Amino acid sequence: MSRIAIIALLASFTVVASAQLAAGPARVSTAVLLGLVDHKTMPLYPDEAMKKGIHGDAIFEIDVDETGKITASKPLAGDPLLIAASKAALQTFSFHPYLLNGSAVKVRSQLGFHFSVEKNANGINGHVECMTSIPNRPEQSPE
């Protein structure tokens, strides 16, 4: 390959990378984002929600900067009690940087927690799991 062809090829990669960076955060799937988790603390099931039998998903759209820190989180779905517990837990999350063409870039994704309640002979137990995929939902705040 000639020097001119190599230079042209490198220039085209630079233009593509610059265009992707200028377009805003790269969108990544929940699965990709979870693969980048460096540290996380799961939400605590709120006592009030458990006693009332409130369960379901708390879904957020999140922005992560080039260092792996969450810079914004917007609730998309979920009960207010579950959202509050989840938002507190999200503040503890950190990620490995997402690399695009060798450079760390900002990313946007969705992250969610599934809350479930079990009643048994000993009382009520709450369980929280990090969702590995998010059902197709409109990107708007819960009412």
Alpha carbon of residue 71 to chain centroid: 11
pLDDT at 24 (0 to 100)? 84
DSSP track, 17-32: HHHHHHT-SEE--HHH
**Cα 73–115–51 angle (5° rounding)?**
115
Give per-10-residue mean pLDDT for the chain (143 aa).
Answer: 55 49 80 93 93 93 95 95 95 94 94 90 85 71 45
pLDDT at 48 (0 to 100)? 93
Question: Which residue type, as a one-letter code, is found at position 98?
Answer: Y
Task: Catalogue all structural domains in the chain, each as residue range(s) with its CATH number.
Answer: 25-130 (3.30.2420.10)
> CA-CA-CA-CA torsion for 130, 122, 52, 141, nearest 10 degrees?
0
Phi-psi region of 90 (alpha: psi -120 to 50; beta: other; left: phi over 0): alpha
pLDDT at 75 (0 to 100)? 96
For residues 60 and 73, is the Cβ–Cβ distance under 8 A? yes
Give the residue among 28, 43, 42 at the shortest CA–CA distance from 97. 28
